[in-house]
């Protein structure tokens, strides 16, 4: 199974800008730029590679975790997963911090934590991010 995305960039690094398109059409002409990546902490000037990695990581982790919870006989009512990907200019991407708050009837905190750790380790995006630190904070809510 292959998924595709296309990036078009015009100009140099600092003054240039680009657009991103994805196979699904979710991103269509979505702007990205140096400013969006390194200067605009609000995220209002467009997306950036780190934001897209964070979205992929949070989504993948939530799906993997929901599978393990269902296999355990304790399907989640809701998993609110977040990933914060850290970019250190001049160094690169140094980590992805996963947090999840789950509404999972019939599970205790220890089993919830165990399955969350399994999901962190087993999620294909976590595996792809093997060169960086991936942390997890999992709580029942």
What does the pLDDT look like over 101-134, one tens digit per residue?
999 999 999 999 999 999 999 999 999 999 999 9
pLDDT tens track for 62-83: 999 999 999 999 999 999 999 9
The domain made up of 49-140 is a member of CATH 3.40.640.10: no
Angle at 43 between CA 41 and CA 47, to 5 degrees: 125
Interval 11-28 mean pLDDT: 95
Q: Taking the CA of residue 129 as centre, how many other CA atoms within 13 Å lie in the half-sphere pointing to its CB?
A: 30
Residue 45 is predicted with a pLDDT of 81
Domain residues of the chain, as ranges? 5-39, 49-140
pLDDT tens track for 20-51: 999 999 999 999 999 988 888 787 788 999 99
């Amino acid at each position: 199974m292959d998924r595709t995305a296309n990036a078009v960039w015009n100009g140099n690094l600092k003054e240039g800008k680009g657009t991103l398109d994805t196979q699904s059409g979710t991103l269509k002409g979505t702007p990205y730029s140096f400013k969006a990546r390194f200067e605009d902490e609000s995220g209002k000037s467009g997306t950036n590679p780190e934001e897209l990695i964070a979205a992929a990581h949070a989504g993948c982790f939530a799906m993997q975790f929901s599978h393990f919870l269902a296999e355990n006989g304790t399907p989640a009512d809701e998993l609110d997963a977040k990933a914060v990907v850290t970019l250190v200019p001049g160094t690169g991407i140094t980590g992805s911090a996963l947090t999840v708050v789950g509404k999972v009837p019939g599970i205790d905190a220890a089993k919830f934590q165990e399955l969350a750790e399994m999901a962190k380790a087993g999620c294909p995006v976590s595996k792809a991010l093997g060169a960086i630190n991936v942390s997890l904070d999992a709580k029942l809510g």
